[in-house]
Each structure stands twice: as structure tokens, then as C-alpha cells.
Chain A
Amino acid sequence: MKIFLLPLITLILLVLQSVLTEVIPSTFLDGMLYIPHWPLVISIIVMIFYDREHSYVGLMNGLAFAILTDLTFTSILGVYLLGYGVSLYVIHLLKRVLHKNFLVSIVFVVLGVAIADLIIFGVYFLIGQVMIGFQEYLTTRLVPTLIVNVIGLLILYPLTKPMLTKWKYELEK
């Protein structure tokens, strides 16, 4: 039952991404903005390597931290909930089809973050919070965001995967 450590790890990631955003200068490259979605990334890893066919630990974790992100970092509730929820559910459906290895987890993170970020952009665009066009969004935000989150995966994967498989093994024993 060490899986209860998971919310703590996710909380630290959530806090870390906001503190790093403050400390590190916002634009390394001219006009490029990268948005870390590390709680989503770790939820995807949990989904692949811990969840069984009918358990939803990763999904619940992702949804809980989506609500927390909505509460603390944005003024509009429910947008992250929708984005993370849909993206994690798609991953949940897809993971039955594909093998569980490193390359697949990269594919899942790229896909999941892209779905979540596109939904968040779409909703903000509909309610008038965002004014930039789709083309500009693609080049200045989506691509750097995907790169940053894959980097996040590269750091998190070796740290969490052995732990999660061990927990899963202990659970099944």
C-alpha cells in the first residue's frame, strides 16, 4: 500500500513546476513558451506500470491534481479537469492494445500531453481567455510543451518505474 506515497510525489512535482517557472527566465528561446504538465506525466507512468486492467489509480491521481491545478493556478475551474480526464481516459483505452515499454511510454506522454493541452487551449479559446490563433499556438506553445514534458518523462521514468513495478508485484503477491 505504498502507493499512498504517490499523491505526495505528485504534489511535490506540481509545486516544483510552479517554483521553477518563477525562478527560471520565461523565454529561453524568443517567444517560445513551454508548459510543464508533470502531474499528468507521472499519472501516465502510473497508469502504464502500476494499474491493472480495471484499476484507476493513475486516472484518479491525475483528476485530483487537475482540480488542484484549476484551484491554485487558474481562475477558471474545470478546464484542467476536462483536459486531464479525457487524455487519461484515452491512454487507459490505448494501453490494452500496446505493449508496456519505454518507447510506448514516450508515445503515450506525447499523445496525452498533446490531447490535454489542446483541450485546455480549445476551452480557453471558446470562453475568450486566449486570443492567439491556432497556427501561433502550435509553433510557440505546443511543440516546446511536448519537448519539456518528454524531458520530464526522461527524468521521472528511471526514478519511478522500478518503484512502481515493485509495488505492483507486492500488491499481487
Chain B
Amino acid sequence: MPSFLRKRKLIVFLLSIIIIVSLIGYSLRSDGSSSVPAQFAHDTVGLFQSVLHKPIGAIADFTGSVSDMRQVYEQNQVLKQELQDYKSLAYEVNELEKENEELRAMADVDTTLSDYETLNATVIARSSERWFQQVTINKGSQHGVQENMAVQTAKGMVGKVINASQLTSTVQLLSGFGAEHQVSAIVDQNENIFGMIEGYDSENDQLIFRDLSDDSELEEGQAVVTSGLGGVFPRGILIGEISSIELDQYGLTSIAHVEPAADLNDINQVKVVDRELQTVEPSEEDEES
């Protein structure tokens, strides 16, 4: 191809290589772009997404409900039974809440790590390339969503907001968490065990929980919840259940594989969690100022 090496084409070729390398480098450093053009692109695409999501979602819902219809009777029986238990449980919870409030008033504690408000949102799209496990939700900073807020479904935590535009936001799912998005976590009902969710094992679809405490009392079946000590998430959002435990490669700390409580492949309705206690800004803000 002699024409390829003609002068003008060569210059264009070299320039585009330089532009692309600098773009990649820039976005690797800045960790998520929320500049005005990027927000505009997000919102424009998001608008089309929410328009198209309605008819397509309706069709998918309809086919889903037809196949659900077969099991309705059996499910109804089971649910009726569970409703009985639920009533007594709800009564118990009410009592406990009241008691908790009274005790807090006595102890002069206003807000704790576990207080939070939620904001309902609908998932309208998912990143079609699966390297980045990201979904788009139909609430943005106009509705009060901010970066780094936790996102959960009714079953448990699914991820966190990494990019809030005006009308839509991007959520990084737990299955795409790596070294740059760690979650500080504890084992439920055992304050001694704390550690970090530090990655996702895509082979068996489980999260990796590294135990940082000295005396390891990990057991299979224990529930792992957020600790609230990471600075952004409230305390007590369910992440998942421990399914197996092993030592790390140096044999010093133990690593647990955690089965996520929420189904990360099928997410429709989510809640964005806004912690009431003031949030500590992440450290990269400090570098800029």
C-alpha cells in the first residue's frame, strides 16, 4: 500500500494515535468523567433510552408474566402462610424501633451510621459491552443523586453511583468492582470481623472478601454487610452470604467468597441510598484542591 505512506495520511495517522493515547491516559487518571459535554451526552442518550425502555420493557414484562402465571396458585399458598409470620414480625419491629428511638433519645445520639434515606429509580439501560459492568438509572443530580452513593435492590446491595449527570446516573455494579472501588464490610452480628470487598471472581460469580482482623472467626453462611466506615455508604446494607473460605496466597489472612444477595444480572428497580450522617469526601478531592 504505497498510498498509505503518503505524507498527509501519515500525519493524520500519527496525530490520531497521539490523540487516542492521550485520551486513554487522561481518562485513566481522572477516574470517571463528569465534565459538561460528558453529562450532556449521558442525558441525551438517557432520554432516548427511557423513551425506548418503556415499550420494550412492557413486552418483556408481559412475556415474563405469562410464564409466571403457571406458578401463581402454589406461590399464593406459600405467600399467605408467610404473610401470617410477617404480621407478627412487623409488630415486633415496630416495638423495637420505638424502643430504639427512646434509648437513642436518652443517650443523646442524633444520627448514626445506619441512618439513611432512599430514592427509588428504574434501570433503563445497561452497558452493552460487558467489560464494564455499568447500568444507567433514570434519576440524576436533579433528583438528589450524587457520586459514590450506594445502590441496592430489595434483596441487597448491587453497586454504587460513579457518575451523576443532571437527569440520569451511571451505576457501577459489584461485579465490576476492582481495586479502585473497595467496600469496607463487616460480618453481621460479629463486630470483630471486618475487611474489604476487594474484587469479583467472574468464574463463579462471587465477591472476594478479605478478612483484615487478627483472629479469624469466619464461618460459611454468615451474612456480610457494609460497615459504614468507608466514609460513603451507610452501615448495614446486605452484600451477600459467605459460601467458602480459604487462606490467601501468603497464608496470612483469610479470604471468603461471598455470594451476592442481589441478582446482578437481572436488575429493574433500585434504591439509591443517601446516608444521613455527613459524608467524608474521598481523598482524590484533596489532591485537586
Contacts and interface: CB of A to CB of B under 8 A. Distances in A.
Given A21-B125, A21-B126, A21-B128, A77 B49 contact: no
B129 A74 contact: yes
13 contacts: A14-B45, A23-B56, A27-B265, A36-B128, A71-B41, A71-B42, A72-B136, A73-B129, A75-B162, A82-B20, A129-B131, A129-B132, A130-B131
Interface string A22-33: 111111000001
Q: Which label, helix, strand, loop or mixed, suits the secondary structure of the A interface?
A: helix
Contacts, number: 116
Interface of B: 1, 4, 16, 19-21, 23-24, 26-28, 31-33, 37-38, 41-42, 45, 48-49, 52-53, 56-57, 60, 123-132, 134-136, 162-163, 202, 265-266
A24 B131 CA distance: 17
B202 A132 contact: yes
A23 B136 CA distance: 12
Contacts of A16: 52
Interface residues of A, number: 43
B124 A19 contact: yes
A69 B265 CA distance: 21
A93 B38 CA distance: 33
Contacts of B266: 25
A81 B23 contact: yes
Contact of B134 (A73, A78, A79, A85): A73
Nearest to A126: B24
Contacts of A131: 202
A101 B52 CA distance: 33
Contacts of B27: 75-78
A127 B126 contact: no
A132 to B, nearest CB: 7
Interface string A1-35: 00000000001101111111111111100000101
Contact of A18 (B16, B20, B24, B127): B127
A15 B4 CA distance: 35
Contacts of A18: 45, 49, 125-128, 136
B17 to A, nearest CB: 8
